[in-house]
Structure 1
Amino acid sequence: MKKNIGIIGSGIAGLHLAYALRNEFDITIIERHTSEEIRKGRIMSTQVHFGSTRSREERFNMPKWEEQSLIESIHIMIGNQKLFAGMLQEPASSVDQRLYYAHSMKDLDEKGVSFRREKVDNESAKALLEKFDLIIDCSGKNGPLFPFPLETELSPFPAPQRKCIVGYFAGIKANEPPGVSVTVLPGLGEMFEIPSMTEQGPVTILFIMAIPKSDLDVFKGMKNGEEFTCKMSDAVQRFFPHVYKRMDMEKFKLCDENGYLQTAITPVIRKPYLMVHDKLVVGCGDSVFLNDPITGQGCNLSSFCAEQLCETLIEWKHSKWDGEMGESYWKRTKQYVKEVTEWTNAMIGPLPEHVVQLLMQGAQDQDKANEIAQWFADPTTAFEAFFSRMNV
C-alpha cells in the first residue's frame, strides 16, 4: 500500500513535488483556490526558470510551453550605463504563474492526483497530520503553517529590504538579444525587465525593487491598474530612461486588470523539518527558504529543494519517516540554500569592490560577461565570485 502525502499549496514547490512523487505515493494537494480562480486572479510574483529548473520540469514530465519566447541573456546596467549583455549557457523561460499553475493543476488532476479545496491555517494544519503519512508545507511566502526553527545566521533582516512593484505590460520593445535586463541604481534600488508569456500573449514584466523611503519608493496608495500604470510610466521615465525610450505610450498598458502587484518580503530561512505530535512535517519552497527576490532565485530554489525532497522520500520509501529522514533532507539542501542565500543577502547591500571590478571586466570581455550572466542560472558560481576572494 502506498504511503499518502498531503501537500499544502500549489506553487512551484507543491506542483514540482506532485509531478515528481505521483507515481510513488498517493498525493493530495490542499489548495484554497481552484485552478480557474488562480488563472483569473492577481499576478503573484515574477518568474524566470533557468536551465536547471527547466531540466527538472522535463524530468518530472511537466507540461511544455511551446509558444514561449526563450531568454538567452542577462543585460547589466549600473545607473544609466549599459555594461554588457552576458549570454546564458542554456536558455531560460518565463510563463505567467497564473497560467503555469492553473494548467499544471488541471493536468495533475487528469493524471490522478487528488485535490482538496480548503483554506488551511495553523490549527487546521495540525488536524491534517492525522489524515496523511506526511504533510509537506508548501504554503509559500505567506507561510509557514508550522513553527519550523529559524536559521538565524541566514536570516539577518528584521524587516523587508525592498518594496517590490511588479507590472506585466504590453507596449515595450524587447531588448536584443532577448533577455532579462538588470538595472542597479545605487542608493535607490533596482529594476528587472523580464520578457514573459501570459494568456494574453507576450509581455514585458517591469519589476522595481525600491529601497524603502528612497526617492524610488513612490508607489503608494495605488487603487487600480490605471493608477498603477500611470505611476509606472512616470517612474520609468524619471529613473529608467533607457527603458522609457523603448515604450510605445499608445500601446503601453497592463496585460489585464490583475496584472500588477505591490508587496514587501522579509527574507527568512528556516530548518525545513520538525516533529509535531510524534509525526514528521517538512517544508519546501518559500515557506521555509524565503529569499529576497533581488537575485531571481525563488522559483529555482523551490524547484531544487522539491527535487531533493523527492529523492529523500523515495530513498526512505520503506523506512520510518521521522526526524532522521528530515535531517537527511536538510543535509541534501543546506549547502545550496546557504550559498544562494548568502549571495542574495550580499546583493541587497552595496556591492563589494571586487565584484564591481568583475562587472567592469565584463564590459570589456564577453567571456567574463557570460560568466556573470551564469551567476543567475547557477548561483553557486555567484557565491564563489562574491566570497572566495573575500576569504583569501
Structure 2
Amino acid sequence: MELLKRRICIIGSGEAGLHLAYALKDDFDITVMERKSPDQFKKGRIMSTQVHFGPTRKREKRFKMPNWEDQPLIESIHITIGNEKLFVGMLQEPALSVDQRLYYSYSINDLIENGVSFRFEKVDKEDLDILLEKYDLIIDCTGKNGPLFPFPTEESLTPFQTPQRKCIVGYFEGIKANNPLGVSVTVLPELGEMFEIPALTEQGPVTILFVMVVPKSDLDVFKGIKYAEDFTLKMRNTVQQFFPDIHTRIDEENFALTDDNAFLQTAITPVIRKPYSLVKNKLVVGCGDSVFLNDPITGQGCNLSSYCAEQLYETLMKYKDSKWDIEAGEYYWNRTKQYVTEVTGWTNAMTKPLPNHVVQLLLQVAQDQAKADEIAEWFANPTKAYEAFFLNNIN
C-alpha cells in the first residue's frame, strides 16, 4: 500500500513558488495559495523586470517548467558609463526575459493541468493557525510584501533602512533592439542607472526600460505620474536627455507602452532574513523575496529565487522520510547562506559609487573581449562579481 504523501502548502506563486511547485509536485501533495487567478495576472499591471540567466534556465529545464526557447534569446551585456559605451560582453549561456504576467499565468494553468491544487484566495496572518494544523510544511513565498511568518532579520546583510533607488519600469514598443541582442546597462554616477532589456510579452517582443533613480537627483522626475500617456512622455524626454544611445534607436511614431498596465513605479528596502522558523513547534520556511529581498540593481531577484528554490527542494528530498524540524531548516540555510551573502554583498555595493578598482577594471576591459565576456558573466554567476568587488580578483 502506498504511503500518503506529505502535505506542503506554498503561499505565493511567483518565481520561488512556481519553481517549488514544479520541483516538489511528484513527491509531495502540493497546494498553492495565490490571491490572483491566472486571468488576473494576465490582465494586471506589470510586477517587475526579469532576466532568467543560464543557471536559472537550467533549473527550469531540470524541473520541467514551461519552455520558452523558441523566443529571441539574450546573448550579451552592453556596459556604458556616462555617455561612453565601454564594451559588449557575451554570455556563456543565453538568457531570457518573459513578462511575468504571461509567465505566471501560463505556468499556473500548466500546473493545474498536471494535478497541482491551487486555492485562489488571499492568506492573512489570522489564517496561519489553520494552515499549520492542516499541512506538514508551509513555505512562505509571498514575495516583496512578505513574509507572513516571523523570520528573523540577518542584520549583517541588511545595512539599509530605506530604499536606495526608486524603480521606474515600462514595457515599450518602438525601440530598435541593440546588436547583439542583449541587456544594456548604463551607469550615470550620482544619478542612477538604466537597464534596457529585450523581453517577450503576450503582444510579442518588446523593450523594457528600467530606470533606477537615486532619490532627489536630477533623474528623479517621475513622481506623481499615474497615467500611461504621461509616463510615456516622461520616459521619452528622460531618454532623450540622459540616455542618447537608446534615444537614437527610438521610432518616435511607434514609441508607446505595450498596454496601459505596462508601467510601474516602486521602491524597495532590501532585507535579508533567516529563511526558517519554528511556529507552534512546527517548522516553516521562506523562499524567494519573502526572505531574500535585494535591490533590483543587479537583476538577481528571479535568479536568487530560483537558486534558493532548488536548495530547498534538495533539503526536503534529503529529509523526505525524516522529521521536518530545526535541523532541516538549518540545513537549508547553510546550503543557501554563502550564495545569498555574495549576491547581497555585490548588489548592495552596486547601489553605492563604484569602487575605483572596479572602474579601472571596466575601463581596461574595453580592449579585451575575453575579459568583457567575464564581466558579462557576473550577472549569470554573481560569485564572480563578488570576488571582483571584494577580493580584487580581476584575473
Contact 1:68 1:196 in 2 (8 A): no
Residue 243 of structure 2 corresponds to residue 240 of structure 1: yes
> 2:179 aligns to what?
176
Q: Aligned partners of 1:353, 1:126: CA distance in 2, in Å?
A: 52
Greater mean deviation of Cα atoms: 113-122 or 310-319: 113-122
Alignment partner, residue 65 of structure 2: 62
**Which runs of 5 or more structure 1 residues have no equivalent in the other structure?**
none
Distance 1:89 1:108 in 2: 30
Give the alignment's TM-score, normalised by structure 1: 0.98
Q: In the alignment, which residue of structure 2 is the partner of 1:45? A: 48
Confirm or deny: 8 A CA contact 1:13 1:302 kept in the other structure: yes
Which runs of structure 1 show a deviation greater than 3 angstroms over 4 or more consecutive aligned residues?
none
What are the residue-to-residue correspondences of 1:188-227 with 2, within 5 Å?
Answer: 188-227=191-230
Q: What is the match of residue 137 of structure 2?
A: 134
Quote the Cα distance in structure 1 between the aligned partners of 2:307 and 2:13.
Answer: 16
1:186 to 189, 196, 212: 189
Residue 372 of structure 1: aligned partner: 375
Measure the CA separation in 1 of the matches of 2:35 and 2:200.
25
Q: What is the one-letter code of the residue matched to 2:261?
A: N
- Match of residue 384 from structure 1: 387
Q: Aligned match of 2:301 in 274, 293, 298?
A: 298
Amino acid at match of 1:95: V
The one-character-per-residue Cα deviations of 1:190-229 (angstroms, maximum 9, x if unpaired) are: 0000000000000000000000111101101112111110
How many residues align? The count is 390
Give the match's secondary structure for 1:47: coil
Within the alignment, does 1:362 sit opposite 2:365 as a pair?
yes
Task: Indicate if the aligned counterparts of 1:68 and 1:95 stay in contact, CA closer than 8 A.
Answer: no
Partner of 1:352: 355
CA displacement, residues 108-136 of structure 1 (integer Å, 9 cap, x when unaligned): 00000000111112222343111110000
- Give 3-state SS (helix, strand or coil) of 2:89's partner: strand
**Whole-Å separation in 2 of the counterparts to 1:2 and 1:327:** 23
Distance 1:83 1:16 in 2: 36
| Residue 125 (structure 2) aligned to one of 113, 118, 122 | 122
User: TM-score, normalized by length of structure 2?
Assistant: 0.98
Match of 2:314 in 1: 311
Moved more, 203-212 or 235-244: 235-244
State the distance in 2 between where 1:137 and 1:224 align. Answer: 33
Deviation at 1:242, TM superposition (A): 1.2
Correspondences of 1:19-98 after superposition (within 5 Å): 19-98=22-101
Instruction: Write the distance in 1 (CA, Å) between the matches of 2:127 and 2:358.
Output: 47
Give a deviation string over 1:87-107, Cα, whole Å, max 9, x none. 000000000000000000000
1:44-85 per-position Cα deviation (integer Å, ceiling 9, x unaligned): 000000000000000100111144210000000001100000
User: How far did 1:375 drift?
Assistant: 0.3
The one-letter code of the counterpart of 2:292 is: F
- Code of the aligned partner of 2:277: L
Are 1:9 and 2:18 counterparts? Answer: no
1:357 positional shift: 1.1
* Aligned position for 1:105: 108
Distance in 2 (alpha carbons) for counterparts of 1:207 and 1:79 = 16
Q: CA RMSD in A?
A: 0.8
Alignment partners' CA distance in 2, 1:307 and 1:299: 12
- State the identity %: 72
Q: Deviations over 1:333-371 (max 9, x none)?
A: 000000000010111101111111110111111111111
**Whole-Å Cα distance in 2 between the matches of residues 223 and 366 of structure 1?**
43
Distance 2:261 2:129 in 1: 33
- Partner residue in 1 for 2:234: 231
1:73 alignment partner, SS class: strand
Q: Given residue 216 of structure 2, which amino acid in structure 1 is its aligned partner?
A: K
Query: Matches of 1:285 and 1:143 in 2, distance apart?
Result: 10
Q: Distance in 2 between matches of 1:84 and 1:169?
A: 25
> What letter matches 2:344 in structure 1?
T
Contact 1:280/1:321, CA 8 A, preserved across alignment: yes
Deviation by residue 1:25-53 (Cα, 9 ceiling, x = unmatched): 00000000101110110000000000000
Using the TM superposition, give the Cα deviation of residue 283 of structure 1 relative to its aligned residue in structure 2, in angstroms.
0.1
Separation in 2 of the partners of 1:130 and 1:64? 36
Secondary structure at the residue paired with 2:184?
Answer: strand
